[in-house]
Chain A
Amino acid sequence: MLVIEDVHTHYGKIEALHGVSVEVNRGEIVSLIGANGAGKTTLLMTVCGNPQASSGRILLDGRDITHLPTPEIMRSDIAIAPEGRRVFPGLTVAENLQMGGFFNTKAEVRASQAHVYELFPRLKERENQRAGTMSGGEQQMLAIGRALMSKPRLIILDEPSLGLAPLIIKQIFEIIGKLREEGITVFLVEQNAHQALKLADRGYVLETGRIRLQDTGANLLANPDVQNAYLGG
């Protein structure tokens, strides 16, 4: 579904990704783990075209999207819940969701909205509240819900567990599992390596802009190097 081939990305003159190749197949949950500054968010944002890759190719369903402008990429079958959640603080929960389904018809938006409320009943309760006044966990639910509004086939989640209470993290990971059951492909970036790998079909380990390891989620969990570096021994 998503193929990243030998991608290099620069911020100005500094190269942040030194030739990264990642593949996400239809229906899979693929987790990308790595330390702070390894380039995880850069890789996701390169997929979204901001910044654009300086070399290499990114294919979505076989279509080359490497040099498309961000809005055009995001209007295809792909959606993101970005790092830091980035809900629109002054818009209500309902309005945030409607922004996620901007290019869908009114009926589709209504249906997707009902579906999101089913996944996150909490958002239904807060429907008319401004997003900026909600807790971090609620904002994360909203960010994921907003990404689901455009009915994407591939959803990218950038550190959805960051800064949340363990109970909320558990809920979020349950929802991610549910998304797979619905047939949505998930590309997940996490520092919470244990949870991310447990859930994942396959995983990649990114270190200073290069892929160090790739394997099934279970094998990576059992890998002593991964255990030492990312799972606290």
Chain B
Amino acid sequence: MLDSYFLQQLINGLTIGSAYALIAIGYTMVYGIIGMINFAHGEIYMIGAYTSLIVISGLAALGIAWLPVVLIVALLGAVIVSSSMGWAVERVAYRPVRGRHRLIPLISAIGMSIFLQNYVHLAQGSRNMGFPTLMEGGFTFGDAGSFQTSLSYIQITIFVITLICMAALSVFIARSKTGRACRAVSQDLGMSSLLGINTNRIIATTFVIGAALAAVAGLLLGMYYGSIDPLFGFIAGLKAFTAAVLGGIGSIPGAMLGGLILGVSESMTSGYLSGEYKDVVSFGLLILILLFKPTGLLGKPEVEKI
């Protein structure tokens, strides 16, 4: 049953899915800690993609074309700009309204999303821009003549970088002092401040981490699709949000799993049914999960032992 066509859809799905997962982590971490959906997160991802494009073009103008350098400098640039943006958005748009009615930060987030989208429209123009692929080619398997499965270098790069990011994040959350504080604050913010912890700083840290991962995804998917525009973050943000809910919002492994499932289901739909239906399937999946397992696949229902 593992024919080469199926394998191809699986590879494509995992590629997109791992990028969704990177973005979804930002939604899930912020939700886990302050219970709000950061709707400007898709824009942070889009800004990451634009920043890396600017950095790559700048390096090209300087005549620097050695791939590892280009990739690392572009990643660094995107991560720095997006993280600062994530930090600033929290400081300007969310912190002043924290603790108010739930709708208020939500509206603030939507406003921030519209603002950032239009800012990039003005600064970079609304037409889509070509994104250099940086690496051509890849491996192909299967007999010549029949359908051949291909695994491009970009896809391998996406897998490897995503894997490194997720492993680093998992270790950080599980082992480091700040990671422990992130978990504590998400479980009981008030108690954390009773232990002297500056909860504002921990909240800002989660925004910065989420934004950094989104920026990485921005560079990777920019290369993969080969073009970006100011609306680039909107659909990806929506998909990543779906992935976060699918996996159980608030759960980091859930966001990773949700992203992969969503990516694979999308590419299977495009491959076997039609590309037109892929969004129908992803959002249909979301509705099913919400109906039958509202906490998501790995989300825990709130149980308290007295």
Contact = CB atoms under 8 A, between A and B. Distances in A.
Interface of A: 48, 50, 70-72, 74-75, 79-80, 82, 86, 88-91, 95, 98-100, 102-103, 132-134, 136, 146, 150, 163
A82 B303 CA distance: 20
Contact of A74 (B183, B193, B303): B193
A74 B190 contact: no
- Of the candidates A50, A91, A99, the one having the most CB atoms from chain B within 10 angstroms of its own CB is A99
Contacts of A50: 190, 193-194
B interface, size bucket: 20 to 34
B199 A90 contact: no
Contact of B193 (A70, A91, A98): A70
Contacts of A136: 305-306
A91 B186 CA distance: 11
B96 interface: no
Interface string B71-108: 00000000000000000000000000000000000000
B126 interface: no
The 5 residue pairs across chains A and B that have the minimum distance between CB atoms: A75-B196, A74-B196, A86-B191, A70-B193, A88-B187
Contacts of A75: 196
A99 B304 contact: no
A102 B191 contact: no
Given A132-B304, A133-B305, A136-B306, A88 B194 contact: no
A71 B199 contact: yes
Contacts of A71: 193, 196-199
A79 B191 CA distance: 11
B169 to A, nearest CB: 17
Contacts of A95: 180, 183-184
B98 to A, nearest CB: 14
B191 A103 contact: no
A146 B196 CA distance: 12
20 contacts: A50-B190, A50-B193, A70-B193, A71-B198, A88-B184, A88-B188, A88-B191, A89-B187, A91-B183, A95-B184, A99-B181, A100-B195, A102-B181, A102-B197, A103-B196, A132-B303, A134-B305, A136-B305, A150-B195, A163-B306
B192 interface: yes
A163 B305 CA distance: 12
Contacts of A91: 180, 183-184, 187
Contacts of B193: 50, 70-71, 74
B127 interface: no
B191 A82 contact: yes
Given A88-B187, A90-B187, A99-B184, A132 B194 contact: no
Given A100-B195, A102-B195, 20 more contacts: A50-B194, A71-B193, A72-B196, A82-B194, A86-B190, A86-B191, A88-B183, A91-B184, A95-B180, A95-B183, A99-B180, A99-B181, A99-B192, A99-B195, A102-B181, A102-B197, A132-B303, A133-B305, A134-B305, A136-B305
Contacts of B305: 89, 132-134, 136
A132 B302 CA distance: 11
A79 B194 CA distance: 8
A124 B125 CA distance: 62
- Of the candidates A71, A79, A89, A136, the one having the most CB atoms from chain B within 10 angstroms of its own CB is A71
B184 to A, nearest CB: 5
A98 B180 contact: yes
Nearest to A132: B305
Contacts of B191: 82, 86, 88
Contacts of A86: 188, 190-191, 194
Contacts of A150: 195-196
Contacts of B180: 91, 95, 98-99
A40 to B, nearest CB: 16
Nearest to B305: A132
A206 B278 CA distance: 65
Nearest to A99: B184
A100 B180 CA distance: 11
- Of the candidates B177, B180, B187, B196, the one having the most CB atoms from chain A within 10 angstroms of its own CB is B196
Interface in B266-306: 303-306
B254 to A, nearest CB: 14
B197 A80 contact: no
Contacts of A70: 193-194
Contacts of A99: 180-181, 184, 192, 195, 197
Contacts of B183: 88, 90-91, 95
A9 to B, nearest CB: 16
